Amino acid sequence: MNIAIVILNWNGRSLLEQFLPSVIKNSQEAVIYLADNASTDDSVAYVKTHFPEIRIVQNKVNGGYAKGYNDALAKIDADIYCLLNSDVEVSKDWLVPILKTFQAFNEVAAIQPKILDYKKKTHFEYAGAAGGYIDRLGYPYCRGRIFDTLEKDNGQYDDSTPIFWASGACLFIRKQVFESVGKLDEDFFAHQEEIDLCWRIQSNGYKILYEGTSVVYHLGGATLDSMNPKKTFLNFRNSLYLLVKNVPGKKVWFLVLIRMLLDGLAAFRFLLQGKFSHFFAIFKAHMSFYKNLSTLCKKRKKLSKTGKYYTYFSVVWQYFILKRKHFNQL
Protein backbone atom coordinates (compact mmCIF):
# COMPACT_ATOMS: atom_id res chain seq x y z
CA MET A 1 0.00 0.00 0.00
CA ASN A 2 1.62 3.25 -1.14
CA ILE A 3 0.77 6.74 0.04
CA ALA A 4 1.11 10.16 -1.59
CA ILE A 5 1.23 13.26 0.59
CA VAL A 6 -0.13 16.12 -1.52
CA ILE A 7 0.37 19.67 -0.30
CA LEU A 8 -1.68 22.35 -2.05
CA ASN A 9 0.19 25.61 -2.48
CA TRP A 10 -0.72 29.10 -3.59
CA ASN A 11 1.93 31.80 -3.09
CA GLY A 12 3.05 30.09 0.10
CA ARG A 13 6.82 30.12 0.04
CA SER A 14 7.17 31.18 3.70
CA LEU A 15 4.90 28.35 4.83
CA LEU A 16 6.76 25.79 2.73
CA GLU A 17 10.04 27.01 4.13
CA GLN A 18 8.72 26.63 7.67
CA PHE A 19 6.74 23.39 7.49
CA LEU A 20 8.14 21.21 4.70
CA PRO A 21 11.21 20.06 6.67
CA SER A 22 9.06 18.24 9.27
CA VAL A 23 7.02 16.53 6.55
CA ILE A 24 10.14 15.32 4.74
CA LYS A 25 11.85 14.20 7.94
CA ASN A 26 8.91 12.21 9.30
CA SER A 27 7.31 10.79 6.15
CA GLN A 28 9.72 8.16 4.82
CA GLU A 29 6.78 5.88 4.01
CA ALA A 30 5.32 8.32 1.48
CA VAL A 31 6.03 10.16 -1.75
CA ILE A 32 5.56 13.92 -1.26
CA TYR A 33 3.99 16.14 -3.91
CA LEU A 34 3.52 19.89 -4.14
CA ALA A 35 0.32 20.74 -6.00
CA ASP A 36 0.75 24.35 -7.05
CA ASN A 37 -2.37 26.43 -7.73
CA ALA A 38 -0.86 28.77 -10.35
CA SER A 39 1.28 30.68 -7.85
CA THR A 40 2.77 34.01 -8.85
CA ASP A 41 5.52 34.00 -6.23
CA ASP A 42 8.74 31.95 -6.31
CA SER A 43 7.45 29.10 -4.12
CA VAL A 44 7.75 26.43 -6.83
CA ALA A 45 11.27 27.49 -7.75
CA TYR A 46 12.16 27.51 -4.05
CA VAL A 47 10.95 23.93 -3.58
CA LYS A 48 12.74 22.71 -6.71
CA THR A 49 15.99 24.21 -5.45
CA HIS A 50 15.84 23.31 -1.75
CA PHE A 51 13.71 20.14 -1.75
CA PRO A 52 14.43 18.36 -5.07
CA GLU A 53 12.96 15.12 -3.71
CA ILE A 54 9.48 16.66 -3.76
CA ARG A 55 7.51 16.11 -6.96
CA ILE A 56 5.74 19.10 -8.49
CA VAL A 57 2.25 19.04 -9.99
CA GLN A 58 1.45 22.34 -11.67
CA ASN A 59 -2.21 23.38 -11.90
CA LYS A 60 -3.14 25.82 -14.64
CA VAL A 61 -5.45 28.00 -12.50
CA ASN A 62 -6.13 28.77 -8.85
CA GLY A 63 -9.36 26.86 -8.43
CA GLY A 64 -9.33 26.92 -4.65
CA TYR A 65 -9.06 23.86 -2.43
CA ALA A 66 -11.60 21.70 -4.28
CA LYS A 67 -10.57 22.16 -7.91
CA GLY A 68 -6.92 22.46 -6.92
CA TYR A 69 -6.91 19.01 -5.38
CA ASN A 70 -9.16 17.47 -8.03
CA ASP A 71 -6.83 18.64 -10.79
CA ALA A 72 -3.67 17.56 -9.00
CA LEU A 73 -4.84 14.16 -7.75
CA ALA A 74 -5.90 13.19 -11.27
CA LYS A 75 -2.18 13.19 -12.10
CA ILE A 76 -1.00 11.23 -9.04
CA ASP A 77 -1.08 7.46 -8.70
CA ALA A 78 -1.22 6.08 -5.14
CA ASP A 79 -3.39 3.79 -3.03
CA ILE A 80 -3.83 6.45 -0.33
CA TYR A 81 -3.88 10.22 -0.72
CA CYS A 82 -3.02 12.51 2.17
CA LEU A 83 -4.41 15.98 1.55
CA LEU A 84 -2.17 18.09 3.77
CA ASN A 85 -2.30 21.85 4.30
CA SER A 86 0.95 23.72 3.76
CA ASP A 87 0.84 25.09 7.33
CA VAL A 88 1.00 21.72 9.13
CA GLU A 89 3.89 20.32 11.15
CA VAL A 90 3.84 16.53 11.46
CA SER A 91 5.26 14.36 14.25
CA LYS A 92 7.51 11.31 14.29
CA ASP A 93 5.86 8.10 13.06
CA TRP A 94 2.61 9.93 12.32
CA LEU A 95 1.93 7.73 9.27
CA VAL A 96 2.39 4.37 11.00
CA PRO A 97 -1.04 4.08 12.73
CA ILE A 98 -2.79 5.52 9.69
CA LEU A 99 -1.40 2.88 7.35
CA LYS A 100 -2.07 0.08 9.84
CA THR A 101 -5.72 1.11 10.07
CA PHE A 102 -6.19 1.23 6.30
CA GLN A 103 -4.57 -2.20 5.97
CA ALA A 104 -6.72 -3.72 8.71
CA PHE A 105 -10.14 -2.33 7.73
CA ASN A 106 -11.20 -2.29 4.08
CA GLU A 107 -14.44 -0.47 4.93
CA VAL A 108 -12.49 2.56 6.23
CA ALA A 109 -12.27 5.07 3.39
CA ALA A 110 -10.87 8.14 5.18
CA ILE A 111 -8.93 8.92 8.35
CA GLN A 112 -8.07 12.09 10.27
CA PRO A 113 -5.23 12.31 12.83
CA LYS A 114 -5.30 14.35 16.02
CA ILE A 115 -4.93 18.02 15.04
CA LEU A 116 -3.35 20.27 17.67
CA ASP A 117 -2.68 24.01 17.55
CA TYR A 118 0.80 24.83 16.25
CA LYS A 119 0.82 28.08 18.24
CA LYS A 120 -0.38 26.39 21.45
CA LYS A 121 0.53 22.74 21.22
CA THR A 122 -1.21 21.79 24.45
CA HIS A 123 -4.61 22.53 22.87
CA PHE A 124 -6.68 21.28 19.96
CA GLU A 125 -6.85 23.29 16.76
CA TYR A 126 -10.02 24.73 15.27
CA ALA A 127 -9.95 22.93 11.91
CA GLY A 128 -10.74 19.35 12.85
CA ALA A 129 -9.45 18.88 16.42
CA ALA A 130 -10.28 15.25 17.33
CA GLY A 131 -12.77 14.57 14.56
CA GLY A 132 -15.83 16.29 13.17
CA TYR A 133 -19.62 16.06 13.41
CA ILE A 134 -22.57 18.25 12.39
CA ASP A 135 -25.90 18.96 14.06
CA ARG A 136 -29.22 18.66 12.27
CA LEU A 137 -29.02 22.25 11.04
CA GLY A 138 -25.62 21.68 9.45
CA TYR A 139 -23.42 23.42 12.04
CA PRO A 140 -20.06 21.63 12.20
CA TYR A 141 -18.32 20.94 15.51
CA CYS A 142 -15.56 18.65 16.74
CA ARG A 143 -14.43 16.61 19.66
CA GLY A 144 -12.11 19.11 21.26
CA ARG A 145 -13.64 22.18 19.59
CA ILE A 146 -17.14 23.63 19.63
CA PHE A 147 -17.39 27.00 17.90
CA ASP A 148 -14.53 29.07 19.36
CA THR A 149 -13.92 26.98 22.49
CA LEU A 150 -10.79 24.84 22.18
CA GLU A 151 -10.11 22.09 24.71
CA LYS A 152 -6.74 21.29 26.21
CA ASP A 153 -5.32 17.96 25.09
CA ASN A 154 -5.25 15.81 28.22
CA GLY A 155 -5.31 12.52 26.35
CA GLN A 156 -9.12 12.42 26.41
CA TYR A 157 -9.19 11.76 22.66
CA ASP A 158 -6.26 9.36 22.27
CA ASP A 159 -8.60 6.78 20.78
CA SER A 160 -9.61 5.47 17.38
CA THR A 161 -13.28 6.10 16.67
CA PRO A 162 -15.78 6.69 13.83
CA ILE A 163 -16.48 10.35 13.02
CA PHE A 164 -18.80 12.10 10.59
CA TRP A 165 -16.20 14.23 8.83
CA ALA A 166 -12.42 14.44 8.63
CA SER A 167 -10.70 17.81 8.36
CA GLY A 168 -9.33 18.94 5.03
CA ALA A 169 -6.28 20.26 6.89
CA CYS A 170 -5.05 16.67 7.04
CA LEU A 171 -7.28 14.16 5.28
CA PHE A 172 -6.24 10.62 4.36
CA ILE A 173 -8.47 8.95 1.74
CA ARG A 174 -8.35 5.91 -0.48
CA LYS A 175 -7.88 6.90 -4.13
CA GLN A 176 -10.51 4.43 -5.33
CA VAL A 177 -13.15 5.88 -2.98
CA PHE A 178 -12.21 9.49 -3.74
CA GLU A 179 -12.82 8.87 -7.43
CA SER A 180 -15.89 6.66 -7.09
CA VAL A 181 -17.91 9.09 -4.90
CA GLY A 182 -17.30 12.05 -7.21
CA LYS A 183 -14.21 13.79 -5.78
CA LEU A 184 -14.49 17.26 -4.18
CA ASP A 185 -17.38 19.49 -5.22
CA GLU A 186 -15.74 22.42 -7.00
CA ASP A 187 -18.78 24.67 -6.50
CA PHE A 188 -17.74 24.95 -2.84
CA PHE A 189 -14.36 26.46 -3.90
CA ALA A 190 -13.05 26.24 -0.32
CA HIS A 191 -14.38 25.49 3.20
CA GLN A 192 -16.65 22.58 4.11
CA GLU A 193 -16.08 20.74 0.84
CA GLU A 194 -14.46 17.99 2.89
CA ILE A 195 -17.67 17.62 4.93
CA ASP A 196 -19.63 17.22 1.71
CA LEU A 197 -17.12 14.61 0.51
CA CYS A 198 -17.29 12.71 3.80
CA TRP A 199 -21.09 12.77 3.69
CA ARG A 200 -21.00 11.15 0.24
CA ILE A 201 -18.42 8.62 1.40
CA GLN A 202 -20.76 7.42 4.13
CA SER A 203 -23.75 7.46 1.78
CA ASN A 204 -21.81 4.88 -0.22
CA GLY A 205 -21.38 2.57 2.74
CA TYR A 206 -17.84 3.43 3.88
CA LYS A 207 -16.55 4.57 7.27
CA ILE A 208 -14.48 7.56 8.36
CA LEU A 209 -12.21 7.26 11.40
CA TYR A 210 -10.28 9.50 13.74
CA GLU A 211 -6.88 8.13 14.79
CA GLY A 212 -5.67 9.78 18.00
CA THR A 213 -2.24 8.17 18.05
CA SER A 214 -1.22 10.11 14.93
CA VAL A 215 -0.53 13.77 15.72
CA VAL A 216 -0.06 16.89 13.60
CA TYR A 217 0.12 20.60 14.47
CA HIS A 218 -1.85 23.07 12.35
CA LEU A 219 -1.09 26.78 12.18
CA GLY A 220 -4.53 27.65 10.77
CA GLY A 221 -5.77 30.74 8.96
CA ALA A 222 -2.81 30.76 6.60
CA THR A 223 -5.00 31.28 3.53
CA LEU A 224 -8.07 32.99 5.03
CA ASP A 225 -8.17 33.95 8.69
CA SER A 226 -11.37 34.25 10.71
CA MET A 227 -11.47 38.03 10.26
CA ASN A 228 -11.65 37.76 6.47
CA PRO A 229 -15.19 38.41 5.14
CA LYS A 230 -14.55 35.96 2.29
CA LYS A 231 -14.26 33.17 4.86
CA THR A 232 -17.58 34.26 6.38
CA PHE A 233 -19.15 34.21 2.93
CA LEU A 234 -17.86 30.73 2.10
CA ASN A 235 -18.80 29.20 5.46
CA PHE A 236 -22.37 30.52 5.47
CA ARG A 237 -23.02 29.75 1.81
CA ASN A 238 -21.44 26.31 1.87
CA SER A 239 -23.40 25.26 4.96
CA LEU A 240 -26.57 25.79 2.94
CA TYR A 241 -25.03 23.88 0.03
CA LEU A 242 -24.35 20.96 2.38
CA LEU A 243 -27.92 20.74 3.60
CA VAL A 244 -29.59 20.93 0.21
CA LYS A 245 -27.27 18.40 -1.38
CA ASN A 246 -27.24 15.78 1.35
CA VAL A 247 -30.08 15.90 3.89
CA PRO A 248 -32.56 13.09 3.17
CA GLY A 249 -36.30 13.68 2.86
CA LYS A 250 -38.54 16.68 2.36
CA LYS A 251 -37.70 18.14 5.78
CA VAL A 252 -34.53 19.54 4.23
CA TRP A 253 -36.43 22.70 3.22
CA PHE A 254 -37.68 23.26 6.77
CA LEU A 255 -34.12 22.89 8.04
CA VAL A 256 -32.80 25.28 5.40
CA LEU A 257 -35.40 27.87 6.43
CA ILE A 258 -34.40 27.60 10.11
CA ARG A 259 -30.75 27.81 9.17
CA MET A 260 -31.29 30.93 7.10
CA LEU A 261 -33.18 32.58 9.95
CA LEU A 262 -30.27 31.81 12.27
CA ASP A 263 -27.92 33.23 9.63
CA GLY A 264 -29.98 36.40 9.82
CA LEU A 265 -29.42 36.58 13.58
CA ALA A 266 -25.69 36.10 13.04
CA ALA A 267 -25.70 38.89 10.47
CA PHE A 268 -27.51 41.20 12.90
CA ARG A 269 -24.92 40.36 15.56
CA PHE A 270 -22.14 41.35 13.16
CA LEU A 271 -24.01 44.59 12.50
CA LEU A 272 -24.20 45.41 16.23
CA GLN A 273 -20.47 44.70 16.51
CA GLY A 274 -19.73 47.12 13.70
CA LYS A 275 -18.44 44.33 11.45
CA PHE A 276 -20.26 45.58 8.38
CA SER A 277 -18.18 43.58 5.87
CA HIS A 278 -19.19 40.34 7.61
CA PHE A 279 -22.84 41.43 7.65
CA PHE A 280 -22.74 41.93 3.88
CA ALA A 281 -20.79 38.65 3.47
CA ILE A 282 -23.78 36.73 4.89
CA PHE A 283 -26.16 38.65 2.61
CA LYS A 284 -23.96 37.78 -0.39
CA ALA A 285 -23.80 34.15 0.77
CA HIS A 286 -27.58 33.89 0.66
CA MET A 287 -27.75 35.57 -2.74
CA SER A 288 -25.18 33.11 -4.08
CA PHE A 289 -27.17 30.24 -2.58
CA TYR A 290 -30.37 31.37 -4.35
CA LYS A 291 -28.47 31.79 -7.61
CA ASN A 292 -27.14 28.23 -7.48
CA LEU A 293 -30.19 26.52 -5.97
CA SER A 294 -31.29 24.81 -9.20
CA THR A 295 -27.82 23.33 -9.66
CA LEU A 296 -27.84 22.08 -6.06
CA CYS A 297 -31.23 20.44 -6.57
CA LYS A 298 -29.92 18.60 -9.63
CA LYS A 299 -26.96 17.35 -7.62
CA ARG A 300 -29.30 16.33 -4.81
CA LYS A 301 -31.29 14.07 -7.17
CA LYS A 302 -28.12 12.26 -8.23
CA LEU A 303 -26.87 11.48 -4.73
CA SER A 304 -27.96 8.62 -2.51
CA LYS A 305 -28.92 9.95 0.92
CA THR A 306 -27.83 8.69 4.32
CA GLY A 307 -30.25 8.19 7.16
CA LYS A 308 -29.61 10.03 10.41
CA TYR A 309 -26.48 12.18 10.05
CA TYR A 310 -26.63 14.02 13.39
CA THR A 311 -26.70 13.37 17.14
CA TYR A 312 -28.04 16.77 18.26
CA PHE A 313 -30.64 19.05 16.70
CA SER A 314 -28.85 22.28 17.56
CA VAL A 315 -25.33 22.76 18.84
CA VAL A 316 -26.03 26.49 18.68
CA TRP A 317 -28.70 26.07 21.38
CA GLN A 318 -26.47 23.93 23.56
CA TYR A 319 -23.45 26.23 23.24
CA PHE A 320 -24.97 29.70 23.45
CA ILE A 321 -28.09 29.08 25.55
CA LEU A 322 -27.23 26.07 27.73
CA LYS A 323 -23.54 27.13 27.94
CA ARG A 324 -22.22 23.65 27.12
CA LYS A 325 -18.79 24.46 25.78
CA HIS A 326 -17.07 21.05 25.67
CA PHE A 327 -17.87 17.95 23.67
CA ASN A 328 -18.40 15.73 26.72
CA GLN A 329 -21.06 18.17 28.00
CA LEU A 330 -23.35 17.74 25.01
pTM strictly above 0.85: yes
Q: Buried b vs exposed e over 32-43: b needs ≥16 C-beta within 10 Å?
A: bbbbbbebeeeb
Q: Please, where are the H alpha helices in the chain?
A: 13-25, 43-50, 64-73, 96-104, 175-180, 193-203, 229-246, 252-272, 276-291, 293-302, 315-316
Q: What is the pLDDT along the chain (330 residues), one digit of tens a residue?
A: 999 999 999 999 999 999 999 999 999 999 999 999 999 999 999 999 999 999 999 999 999 999 999 999 999 999 999 999 999 999 999 999 999 999 999 999 999 999 999 999 999 999 999 999 999 999 999 999 999 999 999 999 999 999 999 999 999 999 999 999 999 999 999 999 999 999 999 999 999 999 999 999 999 875 566 679 999 999 999 999 999 999 988 899 999 999 999 999 999 999 999 999 999 999 999 999 999 999 999 999 887 666 789 999 999 999 999 999 999 999
The confidence score (pLDDT) of residue 306 equals 67
Looking at domain 3-218, what is its CATH homologous superfamily? Spore Coat Polysaccharide Biosynthesis Protein SpsA; Chain A (3.90.550.10)
The residue ranges of every structural domain in the chain are 3-218, 229-303
